[in-house]
């Protein structure tokens, strides 16, 4: 059974490139571009890993991260991906309980390696 990754990101080119890279790794990839629909999508797909943008339409990634951590459902690992690499953003994500914080732009090899590590594959 393959691992499920949910990409919550509003930039189509990032979703497309990550979907391609992760699909090539044998992962099942889903995506959502609207922050308001993120938790519903998490409930439906039950991902092993959520790749979460910090800045989304209708809801911030930080609010979604709080909801994930407060949920009673099986807890996915969370990789927060953001163009905002300020120390306070990293600190806030860490305090909420993010598993990994990466800034854009990222190297394909590095993100695939980190995702494999987070998923234990």
* pLDDT tens, residue by residue, 61-100: 999 999 999 987 788 999 999 887 789 999 999 999 999 9
Sign, CA dihedral 47-51-54-59, equals negative
pLDDT at 11 over 80: yes
Whichever domain contains 73, its CATH number is 3.40.50.2300
Residue 28, classed as helix, strand or coil, is strand
> What pLDDT score does 83 carry?
86
Total number of domains in the chain: 1
Q: Which domain holds residue 38?
A: 4-119
Q: What is the mean pLDDT of residues 30-35?
A: 96
> What pLDDT score does 80 carry?
96
Q: What is the mean pLDDT of residues 54-63?
A: 94
User: pLDDT tens-digit profile of 16-27?
Assistant: 999 999 999 999
Radius of gyration of the chain (CA): 13
């Amino acid at each position: 059974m393959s691992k499920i990754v949910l990409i919550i990101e509003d930039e189509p080119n990032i979703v497309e490139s990550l979907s391609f890279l992760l699909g090539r790794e044998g992962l099942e990839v889903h995506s959502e571009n609207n922050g308001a629909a993120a938790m519903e999508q998490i409930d439906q797909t039950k991902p092993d890993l959520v790749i979460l943008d910090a800045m989304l339409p209708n809801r911030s990634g930080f609010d979604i991260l709080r909801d994930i951590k407060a949920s009673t459902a099986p807890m996915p690992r969370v990789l927060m991906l953001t163009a905002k690499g300020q120390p306070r953003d990293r600190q806030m994500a860490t305090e909420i309980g993010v598993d990994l914080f990466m800034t854009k732009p990222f190297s394909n090899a590095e993100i695939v390696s980190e995702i494999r590590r987070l998923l234990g594959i």
